[in-house]
Structure 1
């Protein structure tokens, strides 16, 4: 009996794993991890050195406040001394990483949407149902559900609405 229950759990687990959504999610996480490495390299190896060059040699990673009151030349020296530090420069770097990644993803999605829009032919919208018709007697525009014309008071024949305007 316990063996049947175990097969049932294993069977349910296999069914859960093989669902399309779970597999799609797994692929997305793996690709996202690889993409994260690319963006981190782009930020750390290309963009941050340019920002450092533009700002005259500023290194955001060495922007910190030592919480023990001592002055340390670098973050590494403060950490080596065992001082507690408030590393706001590292936070700035991570925020820049996020903004760069968000921008790159935005541009990719925008490009994919533009490509998809070109590949999928546009569907023609169906014309809207008419809400008015032309009175066959006085040629005034009247409500499509009117049984008498409000202008000439003639009875309206049961006919398809005239779409001439």
Structure 2
């Protein structure tokens, strides 16, 4: 399916795990290299001097390949910003890279590594003690179970 026909998921401050998973797949399906940029940081546009020391290249010295890298970095930011609702834009306003945007949202909604581990531990307890409620339809039980396993999965 062509990504032009897939609607970008929009994050409004709720259901971060759902949005994160959908946005990851949306970006990967649109342009996988953009996803790599989110994970690893922007494509570097550098020059190396005679001593072998690399430094950022001035835009006036960009080659056509450098402009392609700059455009890819900008496209990645644009894809992410397309998926962030107005209520969340102030949270990412100071971010200069797509990786900073992604990491900022993850920290805000998933917490630090320690908080994430505690949430996973709590979810694992819920998973281990999961039981069907009396008179509960299978569909409802399945939905509750899926919510637990999906949240664990979204937390890594």
TM-score category by the smaller chain? under 0.3
TM-score normalised by L of structure 1: 0.20
Structure with greater helix percent: 2
Structure with larger RCO (C-alpha < 8 A, sep 6+):
2
Q: Compare CA radii of gyration and give the structure with the larger one.
A: 1
Q: Under a length normalisation based on structure 2, what TM-score does the superposition of the two structures give?
A: 0.21
